[in-house]
Structure 1
Amino acid sequence: MNEPSELISAFIGKNMFVTPGFAEKVCRENETGTILSALASVQRCATPVLLNEELFKSMFSAALSAGKASACIPCVSIVESYSELPQKREVAHFVRHYRARYESIKNVLMNRPDLQGSVSIKRALERKTMDRLSLIGMVLDKYETKNGNFSLLLEDTTGTIRAVIKSDKKNAFTTAKEITMDEVIGVTGSCNGNVIFVNDLILPDLPIMEFKKCPEDVSVAFISDMHVGSKMFLKDEFAKFITWINGDIGSEEQKSEILKIKYLFIIGDLVDGIGIYPEQDNELEIKDIIQQYDECAKYLTQIRKDITLIICGGNHDALRLSEPQPVLDKRYAQSIYSLPNAIFVSNPATVNIHAGKGFPGFNVLMYHGYSFDYYIANVESIRLNGGYDRSDLVMKHLLQKRHLSPTHSSTLYIPDEKRDPLVISKAPDFFITGHIHKTSVCNYKSTTMISGSCWQSKTAFQEKVGHNPEPARVPIVNLKTRDIRIVKFAA
């Protein structure tokens, strides 16, 4: 068989494309069998990749020098990205939306041993004696009694019941302090009339899972909140980041580590937007939204093409505020869509990266974080233990609730009647956010939580509300070891 044709066919099978001239050049300069062996162990690319000489060398240099199949091709598959078309919403949509949420989280809670025999609220109210029982409900009301106890009004599809958590039930009482409206929780206790006296409160929370590690020595980087178009956009620092991630600075050892980065997540707020907060126009260098995206594209196109960019929107992007936000709007961000190595998803979204033969890959939950403001203000343990400096506490709180914005007023949202897209239906390997403008890295159970930094110095609005950003910091995760380091690009 003609070697160039064989190579072209093999590349096409992996959704990679080369010109016949380039294929002939590769066959002349390299051992074709080695390249075919390397390709055989590579997962098919989620989006078409045009393979040029620079990209080919970046992907296959290790395999060619070692004479074995060790090429690393980025692999991204979209697990969940919201794409429903806009429609008129009525009260009935909200009712069905909350029912869908209740059923989704109820199914999670039913896996807990203490709740597998749960009864409906209607059945609980029919009990004539102080029987021990368990049930699952959505929090309709909460207050602290004059005796220092907590009282919750719980609701399911059959009725409502009052749940009392006494202060001497230490664990349940501590959990009750963190409860906010509209969460779905489980309770165990004794029912007396129309009241259940709670022994334990059970959150959906994350299960214990394997702390996955990838067999290949590959890294992933995370950034957010670029805010291109703002006068406070840190051009020099972002240019330094681009030079760094392209491997153009540093020792040979450092460059070798940098070139292991094959994925770059961008978690919203690519541009500063227009009319986002009062008197924003006084702080804009670019006052046209299309030109803001054009300028952003000029930066992102400089990043080496063997890195896959995974991009979602944020509250400053040219999108509706209601969540889930769709993918970036092509009417305004056409220049971003011209990037050949970019994948676009909704906010929130879940993507899987680096799956391969015998390895399931990593599920990455992306959420910009617009609901964070509410929980920082309204959850005492977050507010009193760092607030905006501790985005990890907010992320842990939401993972425990298995919802990105459980309280009705914590964010604007679309009342999808089929499902609640903000439910965390599956435990992620990574939970990645932005919005707070401060980097935070922490593990909770088997999930690595990462909050992105920003590329904007402090604005007058941030100063007014007491935000203290820490810009130009990039978390890097080695997927083989799960080691994390934060690279700083600001002086």
Structure 2
Amino acid sequence: MSLDQEKLIEKLFEKGILVNKELLELGLKDELIEKVVNEGDLLVLNKDYSDILNSPEQLVDWYEVDQHRVDFEKKGDNELYQTQLQEFKIVKVNITNVSNNSKDFSKESNIESFETELKNNNSSVKFESNIDITKDNEINDIESSIINNNNKINNLNYEILCSYVNNPFKYTVKDFAKQFRSRYQFLEKVIRQRSEIKNLLSINRLFAKKERDNVSIIGIITEINETRNGNLIIEVEDPTGQIKILINKSKKDLFKKGKDLVPDEIVGIIGVNGDNIIFVEDLVWPDIPITNEMKKIDKDEYAVFLSDVHVGSTYFLEEEFNKFLRWLSGKTGNQSQKEVASKVKYIFIAGDLVDGIGIYPAQESELTITDINKQYTEFTRLLSQVPKDKTFFICPGNHDAVHLAEPQPNFFKEYSESLFDIDNLILLSNPSVVNIGKSDESNGLNILMYHGYSFDYYVSNVDSIRNGGGYERADLIMKFLLQRRHLAPSFKSTPYLPSHSEDPLLIKNIPDIIITGHIHYSSVANYRGVTMISGSCWQGQTKFQEKLGHNPQPGRVPIVNLKTREVKVLKFV
């Protein structure tokens, strides 16, 4: 091979183009080389492709050409292949701007919600889908989490399955890499078990595969782009290498799934291998198994779910929150609602107990309490009005006085000492997992608590969520995360603390109920047996929210009958 040929190979390789040996030996004219360099989507250069390039004024979808080449090598129909190539040589392609048709992202049939005024008798929402809590792959690093902490308050059994304790040290790139490796190792095992995954290969073994075939890989999304023809070209990585995958816009259902991909998530890819590329036929997420059975407990008990109280804010809805507390105490509501209140044994609050200090510019002008300790003291005073036969489980949010990076640790006593004075209040990390209602007849229910700081990212960056209702559809966000079995699959979506032996935001064991907050909008829905709850808020619209056009929905309280798994939503505003 001559020096000029080596330089040409290197030049084209830098552009991501591999040149066929036969064509190289025939010689390439400078005019053709210039055309090759300017073709952004061209991945392989052979004799057939050079003939197309030599045709005057052509715009070509090279991924479509590659697909025809793959079909030819699989089926051996040379006549059809040559006919297809001829079409690219004689047909001139015109590119025009075409507006997208509007899409209707309606709720799924199994997603329901019901709310009622406090004074009214109310019906319930029944979630009929099933779920099973798996016992494998439990977190067992005692240095990073609290495991199997059995407790009993008010004769109620609960078990803290996971509440993280952060041990700070000097972080390096290796610590972040360790998080991603642990995430990949777990999710790869989950995806590998999916029946759709066949002919699974690592990326380096895929490169060694000469024949065209149906293949599967499992990788992490590193880069997402669109070709000028509107197809998705995505770079995927596994521990052995990197490869590009193509999702053709003509496959509408698949293309819609591809548009929901985000950087750093781990996904199974099914398709046909080409020259250093995979033409995608389907995408497979870790997801919640559809065969799971719903769990219930044997006692007629209720759990209440809320978030984002924001005590200390000028916009704190104190009167409405006191109305809620009076209902919990059995002092208001009709007879049926008072009876439900008497059966409430568990109260989950998913962060932002107080409005905090210095969370955003000029916040002090919107505070009635400007001392962080006094904010928590007032919050504690409010909760102390609730009868002691009810147990609180509380995790922090981004407005609370803890580190912002996730997993957020338990509350700091220095700033919230009053919280530690309530005997029936259990303080947890964000995220955390608690099992409640366990008995000789029942394994109890697993409750996953997560404040939801990552939600903003997915509202902004995921088409189906943004177009489907955005901040008013927390159910779509939670479904998105459950499908990926991770609370923040994109690294940019939330501040991250790499201090644990494995990724702490993995959804390793499937929860029965997930409670979130942050977006100040109530949502109750079901996805494959997992009850998804967004805990509304107790704060009116702030000036900042008004500027963003964000309309909160305060004062809604979802209530779950743990024996029947029926859900009701009480409205206090």
TM-score range, shorter chain: 0.7 to 0.9
Report matched runs for 1:10-25 at 5 Å. Answer: none
Residue matched to 1:17:
none
Measure how far apart 1:221 and its partner are. Answer: 0.3
Deviations 1:270-298 (A, max 9, x none): 01000001110000111111111111100
Equivalent-residue separation in structure 1 for 2:557 and 2:150 (angstroms) = 25
- Structure 1 residue 302 and structure 2 residue 302: aligned? no
Question: Aligned to 2:169, which of 79, 87, 108?
Answer: 87
Question: Aligned to 1:96, which of 168, 173, 178?
Answer: 178
Equivalent-residue separation in structure 2 for 1:92 and 1:234 (angstroms) = 46
> What code does the residue aligned with 1:228 have?
V
- Structure 1 residue 370 and structure 2 residue 453: aligned? yes
Q: CA RMSD in A?
A: 1.6
Report matched runs for 1:316-465 at 5 Å. Answer: 316-416=399-499, 418-465=501-548
Report matched runs for 1:47-196 at 5 Å. Answer: 47=151, 49=153, 73-115=155-197, 117-196=199-278
Deviations 1:12-66 (A, max 9, x none): xxxxxxxxxxxxxxxxxxxxxxxxxxxxxxxx994454x7xxxxxxxxxxxxxxx
Query: Which range moves more in the overlay, 312-321 or 215-224?
Result: 215-224
Secondary structure of 2:339's partner? helix
Residue matched to 2:298:
215
Residue matched to 1:58:
none
Measure how far apart 1:251 and its partner are. Answer: 4.2
> What code does the residue aligned with 1:210 have?
E
Secondary structure of 1:115's partner? coil
Question: Aligned to 1:233, which of 316, 320, 324?
Answer: 316
- Structure 1 residue 466 and structure 2 residue 466: aligned? no
Measure how far apart 1:104 and its partner are. Answer: 1.5
Equivalent-residue separation in structure 2 for 1:126 and 1:263 (angstroms) = 57
Measure how far apart 1:466 and its partner are. Answer: 1.6
Residue matched to 1:7:
none
Count of matched residue positions in the alignment of Structure 1 and Structure 2: 425
> What code does the residue aligned with 2:318 have?
K
- Structure 1 residue 199 and structure 2 residue 281: aligned? yes
Shift in alpha-carbon separation, 1:265–1:417, aligned structure 2, 3 A:
closer
Which protein shows a greater Rg? 2
> What code does the residue aligned with 1:384 have?
N
Measure how far apart 1:417 and its partner are. Answer: 5.4
Equivalent-residue separation in structure 1 for 2:152 and 2:476 (angstroms) = 39
Measure how far apart 1:206 and its partner are. Answer: 0.8
Q: Which structure 2 residue ranges, 5 or more long, are not aligned?
A: 1-147
Shift in alpha-carbon separation, 1:77–1:417, aligned structure 2, 3 A:
closer
Report matched runs for 1:22-41 at 5 Å. Answer: none
Equivalent-residue separation in structure 2 for 1:186 and 1:314 (angstroms) = 32
Measure how far apart 1:389 and its partner are. Answer: 1.0
Secondary structure of 2:216's partner? strand
Native 8 Å contact 1:207 1:427 kept in 2: no
Equivalent-residue separation in structure 2 for 1:484 and 1:181 (angstroms) = 35
Equivalent-residue separation in structure 2 for 1:449 and 1:292 (angstroms) = 29
Deviations 1:80-122 (A, max 9, x none): 1111311111111111111111111111111102226521111
Measure how far apart 1:333 and its partner are. Answer: 1.1
Measure how far apart 1:340 and its partner are. Answer: 0.5
Residue matched to 2:357:
274
Native 8 Å contact 2:152 2:158 kept in 1: no
Shift in alpha-carbon separation, 1:46–1:309, aligned structure 2, 3 A:
farther
Equivalent-residue separation in structure 2 for 1:404 and 1:185 (angstroms) = 15
Question: Aligned to 1:224, which of 303, 307, 314?
Answer: 307
Native 8 Å contact 2:168 2:499 kept in 1: no
Native 8 Å contact 2:157 2:436 kept in 1: yes
Native 8 Å contact 2:166 2:500 kept in 1: no
Secondary structure of 1:475's partner? strand
Shift in alpha-carbon separation, 1:337–1:468, aligned structure 2, 3 A:
same
Equivalent-residue separation in structure 1 for 2:524 and 2:383 (angstroms) = 24
> What code does the residue aligned with 1:131 have?
D
Name the % identity.
Answer: 49
Measure how far apart 1:427 and its partner are. Answer: 1.4
Native 8 Å contact 1:267 1:367 kept in 2: yes
Residue matched to 2:348:
265
Secondary structure of 1:214's partner? coil
Residue matched to 1:65:
none
Native 8 Å contact 2:298 2:441 kept in 1: no
Equivalent-residue separation in structure 1 for 2:387 and 2:246 (angstroms) = 58
Measure how far apart 1:330 and its partner are. Answer: 1.1
Q: Which structure 1 residue ranges, 5 or more long, are not aligned?
A: 1-43, 52-72
Native 8 Å contact 1:80 1:351 kept in 2: yes
Equivalent-residue separation in structure 1 for 2:399 and 2:270 (angstroms) = 43
